[in-house]
Chain A
Amino acid sequence: MMRDAWVIAKKDLTIEFRTRSGILSALVFALLGLVIFYYAWDPTAVASIDLAPGVLWVVFTFSGLLGLNRSFAIEQSERAIDGLLASPASRSGIFLGKALANLVFVAVVQIVAIPALVLFYNFPIARIAIPLMGILLLAAIGLCAVGTLFSSMAVNTKLAELLLPMLALPFFVPIVIGAAQSTAKLLSGRPAIEAMPWLKLLLAFDLVFVLGCTLAYPFTIEE
């Protein structure tokens, strides 16, 4: 199953690397988001450092949705998904491969977006770089698990990509709250122990929904 997942993830990432259309639009979207959010607040009333965690996680979620939308849309042309399902790869393997590719996608966007955040918002990255990576990974895993499942469902509906945000965003609520709050705690120099309840929440979310979505995916496929 893990080998199937790896092959599928490699296939998706190769397509993404060759075309670069999805990743570029997500990157530009993330940068634009960072800039626009800066102008949405009065800088004399709210310090940019106070905005940074919220902006980071909102941009993270919405640029993630861009990538998730493409994940199964690329399988729609010439019914490539049928070929995938007919292949000996297990259903769970297909799901995990897709989710893994999305995880890499989200990570690449963040690798560009976080330096931009450091630059634009005067974000003191050095102090919290390592715990922030941990939060990012936990948040990205949950986001990709839920997002990949709903992306696979949304492409088969009449509303297609319009449906994904409506289905997925309520599920991203605990991720965004947990990630933004733990980032804010770390940023304000509070002891790391105060961020622990939020990190536990993220970890529990990941465990439940990676397992739940992997088990649920085979049910969404025509028998």
Chain B
Amino acid sequence: MWWRPLPMPDNAIYYHVAYGIGLSIYLLYGISLFVRRSRLRT
């Protein structure tokens, strides 16, 4: 066949890094809210 689809770009590393950093930010912010509140109560 003279035509074949272009290979899918190999850029999974950016996707992994973005999910890693993005989701950790949310997680860390959630933890910080929790910590700040429990510190306030002591």
The answer to whether A and B touch in the complex, with CB atoms under 8 Å apart, is no
List residues of A whose CB falls within 8 A of some B CB: none
